[in-house]
Amino acid sequence: GQNIDQPTEMTATEGAIVQINCTYQTSGFNGLFWYQQHAGEAPTFLSYNVLDGLEEKGRFSSFLSRSKGYSYLLLKELQMKDSASYLCAVRVLPRSNDYKLSFGAGTTVTVRA
């Protein structure tokens, strides 16, 4: 199985920066996803990293280090609407031409005025 760890909760102020860390131990690693999920709603895709390094997309950036089994999601210029749960998910390839996602429990981010 996969072991994916991320903090349960984080709180930050509007306009600030928050970094959500995710560590994983897995076999057959084939990429890491970040999803955003507002309460009671479906998860929506934020980013995908398969190679080491930083991927930037507007106010959100995601970093991956495969050798360390580590990723982070960076949220800049926080807005109230960024209050949500952020899910780290690891894509694994248990057999040829087959993959599935394993999700962490999620980090609930609360943005305060």
Partner 1 sequence: DADVTQTPRNRITKTGKRIMLECSQTKGHDRMYWYRQDPGLGLQLIYYSFDVKDINKGEISDGYSVSRQAQAKFSLSLESAIPNQTALYFCATSDKLRAEQFFGPGTRLTVL
Residues that bind partner 1 (CB under 8 A): 1, 4, 8, 30-31, 33, 40-45, 48, 87, 89, 91, 98-106
- Least Å from the CB of residue 96 to partner 1: 12
Closer residue to partner 1 in complex, CB, 25/44: 44
CB of 30 to partner 1, least distance (A): 8
| Residue 36 to residue 89: CA distance in whole angstroms | 11
> Least separation, in Å, of the C-beta of 95 and partner 1?
10
Cβ–Cβ < 8 Å for 107, 45: no
CA distances from 33 to 29, 50, 80, 103, 112 (A): 12, 9, 23, 9, 26
Residue whose CB is less far from partner 1, 47 or 61: 47
Q: How far is the CB of 15 from partner 1 (least distance, A)?
A: 29
Instruction: Count CB neighbours of 107 within 10 A.
Output: 20
CB closer to partner 1 out of 38 and 68: 38
Rounded CA separation 30/24 (Å): 12
**In contact, 62 and 34? CB cutoff 8 Å:** yes
Considering the complex, state which of residue 26 and residue 102 has its C-beta at the smaller distance from partner 1.
102
